[in-house]
């Protein structure tokens, strides 16, 4: 299990060895151990960042949120809901070895066509791209930092 260091603050994550070559990581949202893949490594580190540093409520986070798009089920990596339980943030996580390209942004934009959130983030754990959506002007405003979300 060798994953590159991420561009996120350190989090003490629980990892167990399942058998000779399989590891699992504890998911604080779903409250269970899940298979540790490169993408899951990014997702769990980013979730911990959102909870520990951005102070988002665990109870309003949902991982692998299912959406029905054109007769097929799609899953958002991370969705955060506001106090009225309306989605406000979508995060799409990619493996650290994958460059963040137009297809990642197209994927999250497709999810947002259903959810209509205020913020979208695409991350591979090393690079993070955040945008605030201005629905009146029908444009994305790219942000220099990951926003504080209430």
Q: What are the domain boundaries of the chain?
A: 15-143
15-143 is a CATH 3.40.50.1820 domain: no
pLDDT (tens digit per residue) in 98-123: 888 888 888 888 888 888 999 999 99
pTM of the model: 0.91
Whose tokens are 């969705």? That residue is: 79
Is the distance from CB of 63 to CB of 29 less than 8 angstroms?
Answer: yes
Phi, psi of 48 (to 5 degrees): -65, -40
pLDDT (tens digit per residue) in 20-72: 789 999 999 999 999 999 999 999 999 999 999 999 999 999 998 888 877 88
CA distance 40 to 25: 8
Measure Cα distances from 94 to 41, 70, 127 in Å.
Answer: 10, 23, 10
Sign of CA dihedral 34, 37, 59, 72: negative
Bridge partners of residue 119, in order along the sequence:
89, 132
**80: pLDDT confidence band, cut at 50, 70 and 90?**
very high
């Amino acid at each position: 299990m060798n994953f590159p260091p991420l561009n996120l603050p350190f989090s003490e994550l629980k990892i167990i060895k399942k058998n000779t070559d399989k590891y699992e990581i504890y998911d604080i949202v779903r409250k269970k151990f899940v298979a540790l893949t490169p993408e899951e490594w990014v997702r769990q580190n980013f979730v911990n960042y959102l909870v520990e540093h951005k102070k988002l409520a665990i109870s309003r986070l949902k991982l692998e949120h299912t959406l029905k798009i054109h007769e097929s089920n799609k899953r958002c990596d991370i969705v955060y809901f506001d106090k009225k339980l309306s989605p406000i943030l979508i995060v799409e996580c990619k493996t650290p070895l994958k460059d963040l390209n137009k297809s990642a942004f197209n994927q999250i934009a497709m999810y947002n066509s259903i959810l209509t959130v205020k913020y979208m983030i695409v991350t591979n754990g090393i690079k993070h791209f955040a945008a605030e959506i201005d629905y009146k002007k029908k444009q994305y405003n790219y942000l220099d930092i990951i926003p504080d979300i209430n």
